[in-house]
Structure 1
Amino acid sequence: MGVDEYAQARPSAGLRPFVGFYTGYRQAGLAPARHRGLPSPYLTLIFTIDDPLDVAAHPDPRQPAGRYDALIGGLHLAPAVITHPGRQSGVQVALRPLGCRALFGLPAAELAGADLDAADVLGALPVDEIRDRLRSAPDWPSRFAVVDEALLRRLRDDPPGALPEIAYACRRLLAGPPVPVAAVATEVGWSPRYLTDRFRAEVGLRPKEAARVARFDRARRALGPATRLADLAAEHGFADQSHLVREFRAFAGCAPTTWLADERELAVSLRKVVRFCPSPRPPPGARIEP
């Protein structure tokens, strides 16, 4: 009998400014599959539990395929292609762009469009320790607590932050509803060009690109088999259904209906999940050095 598990949790309170949520997955005994890793307003941090992550194609086509025990991926505008032979398991962290500086000491722009071995950023020993503890943990809340504790230990008492104007622009542009970049520039007292330059230097995408990705991500998460595309487009600020389809082709490489058909098994699995477990509480006495 196959195993098909998904679970999600929010981080503990100290990490919420920097991390959106955790997703745990474990599959075994299923048919081999390919999965699109789509652009989103979050950087991706994955710790595998058993088999490495096979990335057949990266958002940057110049980057060769690779296998990763743990991976950090920056913001991107094209899908990655991930394959598995019928089994995969891990914990994925949805990292807010400004959390990259707080947790890793570098702006998200330095990771934009790239997938890196997480050991190159976190160190090989911490990654190995996290994966060992994930394998030993008895359930998803315990696994989320392992990752939560490891990230908390990377935070300094006063983590370095981006300029307040950039932090404000991120909140306005990524949280929705859609807002013109010029309006945000006026709100922070900068010119649109200066905002674009500073935003890109911190986040790795231009403000308009980041806002498009965030809108696409919200629409993609709301898409289901019974969804009318015209309604979805109207609800998420697209000009019309054709606009929505064009954005899907740009960011996913296919039409919404094609993506839904290809990802139907994943979508069904996610709908079985209680969307959020309780926020993790790191076990007392446990320690992972950064």
Structure 2
Amino acid sequence: MGSQEFVRAVPRLDGMVVSAVGYRTAGQRPTLHKGLPSPYLTLVFSLDGDIASGVTPGQATGADAVRTDIVVGGLHQSPAYLVSPEHEAGIQLAVHPLAARTLLGLPAAALTGQLVTAGTDVLGARAAEVRERLCALDRWEDRFALLSAYLRRRAADERAAGSVRPEVAEAWAWLGRHRGAGTVGGLSRHVALSERRLTALFRAETGLSPKQAARLMRFEHAKAAVVRSVTAGTGPDIARVAADSGYYDHSHLVRDFRQYTGVSPTRWLAEECRNIQAGAHGAGEDWDT
């Protein structure tokens, strides 16, 4: 039997980083892990060699896999495949897409051309130095503190790539308040823009249309409810989860699960049950950062 460790931090970065999870596994059977679509960007600092990834299982395990020790991932509509080796360690951050200009120096839409981008291509050589320092530390508390300090310095950098239009910021916030269940028509009226103009501005900033972002938010809420039920030791009622998450019916939730995970909710739970119970999807010890 191998070991799994997941430690969750509570970021103090004004909402720019939504979550931070430190992970370490050892003695595991090598597998393929699915990086699921979500309404957040992904930033991973590996503490144990390169991470191999791809848009298909074949690419992730083949010669043309994307290999990098700092991963930056944009918003996407299908799962990314990552190789989970016998042992691995790192810190994974969920970054608010409207914070991309401040933390990454570019809009989130600039990351939609490919599923994974090498972190140094986006963050520069300084990120590689920070990664080396993270590898040299022994305590998760110290690693989270170092990474938070680095991101705060980036946020304070006067060379940040412009600002997000207020209509787009309010549109994202409105979708969040409605957990993705609101209509594009209602959203466009709320921000006083035509649906066409709103969609153009929203896509230019995030890489997604408002409808695509809403679906991701609704799915994220439903997936979190499923994970909570497993963590609590009860089987999820998919029909109830669908209703509580704003889906028209059970079949619409199953459709989104198939698009975003490649499998049905039941199959995804079977694949992820051990990781959920180990804390990979939200449990674990908390550190303030």
Quote the offset at 1:196 in angstroms.
0.6
The equivalent of 1:34 in structure 2 is 32
Deviates more, 1:84-93 or 1:194-203: 84-93
TM norm structure 1:
0.89
Counterpart CA distance in 1 for 2:72 and 2:170 is: 25
The equivalent of 2:220 in structure 1 is 217
- Structure 2 vs 1, CA of residues 175 and 53 (structure 1 numbering), >3 Å: closer, same or farther? farther
Aligned length: 276
Quote the offset at 1:21 in angstroms.
1.3
Secondary structure at the aligned position of 1:94 is classed as strand
Pick aligned residue for 2:167 from 165, 168, 171: 165
Secondary structure at the aligned position of 1:153 is classed as helix
Quote the offset at 1:56 in angstroms.
3.9
Q: Which amino acid aligns with 2:279?
A: L
- Structure 2 vs 1, CA of residues 253 and 222 (structure 1 numbering), >3 Å: closer, same or farther? same
Identity across matched positions, percent: 40
- 1:192 paired to 2:195: yes
- 1:45 paired to 2:43: yes
Secondary structure at the aligned position of 2:279 is classed as helix
- 1:105 paired to 2:105: yes
Quote the offset at 1:209 in angstroms.
0.2
- 1:182 paired to 2:185: yes
TM norm structure 2:
0.89
Q: Which amino acid aligns with 1:118?
A: G
Deviates more, 1:128-137 or 1:235-244: 128-137
Aligned pairs (5 A) from 1:84-163: 84-112=84-112, 113-123=114-124, 125-156=125-156, 160-163=162-165
Q: Name the structure with the higher helix share.
A: 2
Quote the offset at 1:170 in angstroms.
0.8
Counterpart CA distance in 2 for 1:175 and 1:87 is: 39
Counterpart CA distance in 1 for 2:177 and 2:44 is: 23
> Would the aligned equivalents of 1:230 and 1:240 in 2 still touch at CA under 8 Å?
yes
- 1:236 paired to 2:245: yes
Aligned pairs (5 A) from 1:201-216: 201-216=204-219
Q: Which amino acid aligns with 2:2?
A: G
Quote the offset at 1:44 in angstroms.
0.3
